[in-house]
Structure 1
Amino acid sequence: MARSVYVAGLGPGVGKGTVALGIVELLSRRVAKVAVFRPLVAGAGRDSVLSVLQDRYPGPVPYEESFGVTLAEATALVADGRREELIGRIVERYREVERRSTAVVIVGSDFTDKIEEGRDELPRELAFNARLATEFGSVVVPVVSGEGRTPESLAAAARSAYHSLVDLGATVLAVIANRVPFPDPAVTGLPVPFWAMPEVAAIAAPTVGEVAAALDATIFTGTPGALDRDVLDYVVGAAQVPTVLQHLTEGALLITPGDRADLLVAASAAHAAGTVTLAGLVLTLGEPPDRHAVEVIERLNTGLAILISKADSYHTIAAAGRIKAELSTPRKIEAALGVFEKHVDTDELASMLDVARSSRVTPLMFENDLIDRARADRRHLVLPEGTEERILRAAETLLRRDVADLTLLGDPAEITRRAREIGVEIGGAQLVDPAASAWREDFAARYAELRKHRGVTMDLAYDVVRDVNYFGTLMVAAGRADGMVSGANHTTAATIRPAFEIIKTVPGLSVASSVFFMLLADRVLVYGDCAVNPDPDAAQLADIALSSAQTAAAFGLEPRVAMLSYSTGSSGSGADVDKVVAATALVRERRPDLPVEGPIQYDAAIDPAVAAAKLPGSAVAGKATVFVFPDLNTGNNTYKAVQRSANAVAVGPVMQGLRAPVNDLSRGATVKDIVNTVAITAIQAGAK
């Protein structure tokens, strides 16, 4: 039977979606099939919480089968006095989800005690959720709101939630308070753990896009990034320009009549100048802005969205104040996970859930484990491309999730301006300008000493270390950072060359090399070397195999090494086969404990049926996890073929064999790719 957790909110708007998100994230690191279930959905369109969780954590059950009944169906059954049939239908739907899953997270109902228009009452919400949790065999995590409470009233609410559920026959695992306005509340008298999460504006605030949808406003200007900005406050512009400027606040959405071109231009200029960072602008009365004002704003390049509402300012601000924020964007999801992981003891919670870790590693499990492991041994990483949008968005995610401490290289004013333009928060990052840094002189002396045999003078070195990749690499070499990630805007050579010159390879290794983590549907494989060494000789190939096995083990994968060739065993001959034979012998000599097979063809390495025919009894054939290619041509083409044909995610290239970790990004890297690579680099730094 699947382990299931029922997240029940005690009251509206308590943020049980954030708690459910954190629990699903926790379970996804341990088991392969995590499903999400909702007993009751509104029925009009897709349920927002269920959609967010299923989109982030694709499970074994499609959306249409992930809920019990709609509100309309529940209302009709209760009106006919068929309450038990209602419970029965929901339980039947849940059991089907449970049969196809390893673990299930149930997100409790959102309905109110009474149906509209005076219809018959549904079962009271708490009793309804407690009954379902009991029928499902689920443990319950009640979520109470800390909003507007004192420490005493919060403690009373937590105890009341626990005892009310227990009195209804439920098994309470822990109590969580959300949106708590004071630090470290102490709650006594609870026999289960209590955790408190603070209010976080990035989660509680609606986005500009959500405001636009709620107001049915026309989007006059605004990229997807501009619509993702958080609205932290509303300011109505009706006074003169100086007065309105005085009242603008950080993250505010300015609401003003469409004919107030003076306020529109003034607010945009204030944002562009950095006086205040706005969320966006709303023009009321259905009036589009004056075209001359628009021309000025376009020159300011604010990146702000401008919305046009048909209503007047009063009704627009009233409607905006009623908007309920959702976990609607990746930024909000990362912020929610960050606050959950920072304030809930996830190790204790995982132990209480008692879900055994699966021996099978899925891509989602692997990616989530990267974040978990990096956070557990937090390191300091330098990102040289500090003004690049993807780097800034990744930095915001990494800081919110406490994955690593970060240094961003570049002009601090330019980095801050760019972050403000795209609406991201990087306040926890260190900003360093290589051209103006006090470290530049020391770094130049270090580099000149390292490269004096190449004729590098102090004057030349002083110019070289201004380059962000050289400066970042020297930060690592000097111990001012534990690792570096670059390449979003630079070639592989520009990223890696400084590492070869300054950090160099581990003693005893003839070459540095790279691997890709290939995230297939049901497993994670390691491919090396697919990015660095064009035609390694036997000794170098053995070093690549040993480094790749060590990398696999460092990331929780049991290394079983396949030394690939067009020949399996003694079926072929020739110089290419002989190289693999010699490399395999060297690996066995240096690591007799390491399962290695070679030469072996790819099909025999990965397919148990082929392995049984070609190499029966092999400890590697049919179950290899590390695939070492004989040359770069073969490796690079194979990883790309598998990536595209099998719809696999390729994480890398991950450099190995250097004395400190430096990793290269693809110039097409997504924000998620960057986050994963930084986490990998942090883990490598910890292993060093």
Structure 2
Amino acid sequence: MTRSVYVAGIGRGDGRQAVELGMMELLSRQVGRVGVFRPLVHPGPDPVGELLRARYRLERAAARGMTYQEAAALQAERGLNELVTALVERYHAAAGGYEAMLVLGTDYADTQLPAELTLNARLANEFGAAVLPVVSGLGQDAAALLAEVRNAHHAFASLGCQVVAMLANRVPAEAAGAARGAPDLPVPLYVLPEDPALAAPTVAQAAEAVGAKVLQGDAAGLGRDVRGYVFGGAMLPSFLPALTEGCLVITPGDRADLVVGALAAHAAGAPPVAGLLLTLGEHPGEETMALAARLAPGTPVLSVPGGSFATATELSGLEGRLTAETPRKAELVLGLFDTHVDAEALTRRIALAPGDRVTPMMFEHRLIERSRAERRHVVLPEGTEDRVLRAAEVLARRQVCDLTLLGEETAVRKRAADLGIDLGTGEGIAIVDPASSPLRERFAEVYARLRAHRGVTFELAHDVVADVSYFGTLMVREGLADGMVSGAAHSTAATIRPAFEVIRTKPGVSIVSSVFFMCLADRVLVYGDCAVNPDPDATQLADIAIQSAATAAEFGVEPRIAMLSYSTGESGAGADVEKVREATGLVRRLRPDLLVEGPIQYDAAVEPSVAAAKLPHSRVAGRATVLIFPDLNTGNNTYKAVQRSAGAVAVGPVLQGLRKPVNDLSRGALVQDIVNTVAITAVQAQRAGREDREQEHGEQEAGT
């Protein structure tokens, strides 16, 4: 049976789109196939529907019932029952094949429908949907808000709805705490505070609102948040102190001095502006515009024909919108939702049982949940790399872990400002410059001591530890960070070599290896080793298999190990097959508790019908989850073939065998790849912390 949740408002201005996004995230964590249905729509595009489709890789856009105009006409002609019947039929047609449905209620915006709340309640009942009413807290104190929440709950409950929780959105900070303590509601009340960054429009949205022409600026610049407006009319010495961070400068287009001054201030980072909006249809000459482009590449410069006052009037009250083009706002919403909504309790109240399938998105969601459960600190050496900065913003907004970015602070902050990224202060992101950090002397002493047998002196070590990869690795060794992720702009060797020299392998581990989590449409497989060891011998291959099984189990994949070869069972011979056969025997002797099969071909490992013919009595064949390749050539090519041909999401490489987690990135890594790898590193750090505590406890007991 398809379980559905109906997100319903009681009026306009409640920012319900944020709640709809949060609920889609919650549903997607639990089941593999979630559909979206909007009973009534306005003509034209559906920004939130497109956002959900893009972000959650939906097979199709949100299904639609009918337009408000059609609904009003049908109700007027045939009555409410006929309208409800038609919408119920369309809902069930859309829900077929989905495990859960998210229903987006009406928006109270020029709908021409009487008793709109009653219609939402009736539809929710007929759909068999649990209802999550949303109340706006904008401008309300705690007492007024709670009164409205109680009234809304009574309204839906009295109409027979299954109200699973109440949600107050856009609540002023001073009212949020008191509102959460409401004692007399029969259902939970979740309170999302108002966040200025979410309400702020982007430069692109401001440009759309006034019909501005883009003279220069890239997509990142147009995606910056507009946190305020500064009007340029004074002379430059008076104008510059008025600039504020993230402001959109509105000035007549013939004021070349203010254009150059504002962009020069942005280039110096004092302060970074969102962009410039030039009025009166004027703009500076080519030489000035060329200088502007050099001063602040990517910073938007816009032009409108109207005057400054008229333009300001059009922009007054403009608020940001969630769309597929505002992924940063989506991350902020999800961070708020994760922080202020008890997702586990709400899931139980919806009575949504998790399915057996594990989709790529479900795996990613669970990674984020695991990493946030016991917050860790990860260092990112590539602090000026665009993708790393974007990932850092996502990680901070989702409160995945604390971060340290390495690099010269002015350069890091300037690049972040150019990208429209707010790194904040004291919000879980620190910036450290290895060249000038007081830690450099300490790290040089540590590195010189560790590498003295290689002839490394303090002077040489002092130069080496200024390298971001070495500095970050030493932060991990010295307990100043719990893990490190690098490789977006550095080679694998540049990332791994410092770890070998400084962190070294765990006791009893003979080799550092790697795995990829291969997220297929309905399951997650673990591939090893596809990134580090070119041609492991039998002993090393067995070690890789045992480590990979432990990594799989740590991330919720039940390990059933297939030792891959070009033959299955006793069907083949040769040095390569014998190596795999010997490694399989070693795994069985060292870890008799593990399920392992080998040598075995890939198809026999994962396809039950092939397994039934080749190894009918095997407990692994046809059901393998951990696939160990005989060499790097086979493993690397196979993971890339599956990734590209089967559309799998490859998360990794994840290094295993080190005392503390250091992970490498592909130089083609996407922002989401970096986010996933940092989350994995944080989870590995949680495990390393537990192991350290257990070892310390054991040593204390031995001492007594």
In 2, Cα distance between the equivalents of 1:591 and 1:104? 44
1:491-510 alignment to 2 at 5 Å?
491-510=491-510
1:601-656 alpha-carbon deviations (Å, 9 max, x no partner): 01111111111111102111111111100001111111111111112221111101
In 2, Cα distance between the equivalents of 1:169 and 1:311? 53
In 1, Cα distance between the equivalents of 2:153 and 2:242? 44
In 1, Cα distance between the equivalents of 2:101 and 2:58? 10
Deviates more, 1:670-679 or 1:286-295: 286-295
In 2, Cα distance between the equivalents of 1:326 and 1:154? 24
One-letter amino acid matched to 1:676 = N
Q: CA deviation at 1:411?
A: 1.1
Instruction: State whether residues 38 and 65 of structure 2, in contact with CA within 8 Å, keep that contact through their aligned partners in structure 1.
Output: yes
In 2, Cα distance between the equivalents of 1:436 and 1:350? 49
Q: Which residue of 2 aligns with 1:388?
A: 385
1:189-200 alignment to 2 at 5 Å?
189-200=184-195
Q: CA deviation at 1:98?
A: 2.6
In 2, Cα distance between the equivalents of 1:520 and 1:247? 53
Q: Which residue of 1 aligns with 2:519?
A: 519
Q: CA deviation at 1:417?
A: 1.6
Q: Which residue of 1 aligns with 2:284?
A: 289
Instruction: State whether residues 211 and 304 of structure 2, in contact with CA within 8 Å, keep that contact through their aligned partners in structure 1.
Output: yes
1:19-38 alignment to 2 at 5 Å?
19-38=19-38
SS at match of 2:421: coil
In 1, Cα distance between the equivalents of 2:97 and 2:307? 52
In 1, Cα distance between the equivalents of 2:119 and 2:234? 51
One-letter amino acid matched to 1:372 = E
Q: CA deviation at 1:32?
A: 0.8
Residue 315 of structure 1 pairs with residue 290 of structure 2: no
Q: CA deviation at 1:492?
A: 0.2
In 2, Cα distance between the equivalents of 1:250 and 1:161? 39
Q: CA deviation at 1:152?
A: 1.0
1:80-117 alpha-carbon deviations (Å, 9 max, x no partner): 244322211211111123332111111111134x65xx
Q: Which residue of 1 aligns with 2:207?
A: 212
In 2, Cα distance between the equivalents of 1:79 and 1:286? 48
Residue 414 of structure 1 pairs with residue 411 of structure 2: yes
How many residue pairs get matched? Answer: 679
In 1, Cα distance between the equivalents of 2:83 and 2:258? 56
Question: Which of 254, 264, 268 lines up with 2:263 in the alignment?
Answer: 268
Q: CA deviation at 1:162?
A: 0.8
Residue 63 of structure 1 pairs with residue 54 of structure 2: no
In 1, Cα distance between the equivalents of 2:83 and 2:197? 38
Q: CA deviation at 1:324?
A: 4.0
Q: CA deviation at 1:302?
A: 4.9
In 2, Cα distance between the equivalents of 1:63 and 1:668? 29
Instruction: State whether residues 130 and 170 of structure 1, in contact with CA within 8 Å, keep that contact through their aligned partners in structure 2.
Output: yes
Q: CA deviation at 1:167?
A: 1.7
Q: Which residue of 2 aligns with 1:551?
A: 551
One-letter amino acid matched to 1:48 = P
One-letter amino acid matched to 1:375 = R
SS at match of 1:135: helix
Residue 150 of structure 1 pairs with residue 141 of structure 2: yes
1:571-650 alignment to 2 at 5 Å?
571-650=571-650
Q: Which residue of 1 aligns with 2:353?
A: 356
In 2, Cα distance between the equivalents of 1:325 and 1:465? 44
Q: Which residue of 2 aligns with 1:446?
A: 446
Instruction: State whether residues 255 and 282 of structure 1, in contact with CA within 8 Å, keep that contact through their aligned partners in structure 2.
Output: yes
Q: Which residue of 1 aligns with 2:329?
A: 332
SS at match of 1:556: coil
Q: Once superposed, which parts of structure 1, at least 4 consecutive aligned residues long, lie more than 4 Å away?
A: none
SS at match of 1:63: coil
Question: Which of 260, 263, 280 lines up with 2:275 in the alignment?
Answer: 280
Instruction: State whether residues 604 and 610 of structure 2, in contact with CA within 8 Å, keep that contact through their aligned partners in structure 1.
Output: yes
In 1, Cα distance between the equivalents of 2:449 and 2:434? 19
In 2, Cα distance between the equivalents of 1:236 and 1:200? 24
SS at match of 2:30: coil
Instruction: State whether residues 43 and 72 of structure 1, in contact with CA within 8 Å, keep that contact through their aligned partners in structure 2.
Output: no
Q: CA deviation at 1:554?
A: 0.8
1:670-685 alignment to 2 at 5 Å?
670-685=670-685
TM-score by length of 1: 0.96
Q: CA deviation at 1:79?
A: 3.4
Instruction: State whether residues 216 and 293 of structure 2, in contact with CA within 8 Å, keep that contact through their aligned partners in structure 1.
Output: no
Question: Which of 152, 164, 183 lines up with 2:155 in the alignment?
Answer: 164
1:324–1:430 distance in 2 versus 1, CA, 3 Å: closer
Instruction: State whether residues 202 and 230 of structure 1, in contact with CA within 8 Å, keep that contact through their aligned partners in structure 2.
Output: yes
Q: Which residue of 2 aligns with 1:184?
A: 177
Percent identity reads 59
In 1, Cα distance between the equivalents of 2:592 and 2:93? 48
Q: Which residue of 2 aligns with 1:93?
A: 90
Q: CA deviation at 1:350?
A: 2.0
In 2, Cα distance between the equivalents of 1:125 and 1:235? 41
Q: CA deviation at 1:687?
A: 1.5
Instruction: State whether residues 525 and 626 of structure 1, in contact with CA within 8 Å, keep that contact through their aligned partners in structure 2.
Output: yes
Q: Which residue of 2 aligns with 1:103?
A: 100
Q: Which residue of 2 aligns with 1:397?
A: 394
In 1, Cα distance between the equivalents of 2:239 and 2:86? 56
One-letter amino acid matched to 1:353 = I
In 1, Cα distance between the equivalents of 2:234 and 2:11? 39
Instruction: State whether residues 52 and 58 of structure 2, in contact with CA within 8 Å, keep that contact through their aligned partners in structure 1.
Output: no
Q: CA deviation at 1:273?
A: 2.1
> What's the C-alpha RMSD, in Å, of the aligned pairs?
1.5
Q: Which residue of 2 aligns with 1:378?
A: 375
Deviates more, 1:332-341 or 1:8-17: 8-17
One-letter amino acid matched to 1:126 = L
One-letter amino acid matched to 1:267 = A
Instruction: State whether residues 515 and 655 of structure 1, in contact with CA within 8 Å, keep that contact through their aligned partners in structure 2.
Output: yes
Deviates more, 1:490-499 or 1:515-524: 515-524
In 2, Cα distance between the equivalents of 1:281 and 1:81? 54
Instruction: State whether residues 264 and 296 of structure 2, in contact with CA within 8 Å, keep that contact through their aligned partners in structure 1.
Output: no
Q: Which residue of 2 aligns with 1:221?
A: 216
SS at match of 2:655: strand
Q: Which residue of 2 aligns with 1:48?
A: 47
In 2, Cα distance between the equivalents of 1:89 and 1:261? 60
Instruction: State whether residues 513 and 656 of structure 1, in contact with CA within 8 Å, keep that contact through their aligned partners in structure 2.
Output: yes
Q: Which residue of 2 aligns with 1:299?
A: 294
One-letter amino acid matched to 1:386 = G
In 2, Cα distance between the equivalents of 1:303 and 1:646? 37
Instruction: State whether residues 11 and 108 of structure 2, in contact with CA within 8 Å, keep that contact through their aligned partners in structure 1.
Output: no
In 2, Cα distance between the equivalents of 1:661 and 1:191? 46
In 1, Cα distance between the equivalents of 2:676 and 2:307? 46
Gaps of 5+ in 2: 689-704
In 2, Cα distance between the equivalents of 1:632 and 1:302? 42
TM-score by length of 2: 0.94
In 2, Cα distance between the equivalents of 1:618 and 1:321? 69
Gaps of 5+ in 1: 116-120
In 2, Cα distance between the equivalents of 1:463 and 1:240? 48
1:228-266 alpha-carbon deviations (Å, 9 max, x no partner): 001111223233333433433222111122212222122
Question: Which of 112, 131, 137 lines up with 2:128 in the alignment?
Answer: 137
Deviates more, 1:238-247 or 1:154-163: 238-247
1:555-566 alignment to 2 at 5 Å?
555-566=555-566
Q: CA deviation at 1:275?
A: 2.1
Residue 660 of structure 1 pairs with residue 655 of structure 2: no
Q: CA deviation at 1:293?
A: 2.1
One-letter amino acid matched to 2:390 = R
Q: Which residue of 2 aligns with 1:118?
A: none
One-letter amino acid matched to 1:491 = S
Deviates more, 1:208-217 or 1:390-399: 208-217
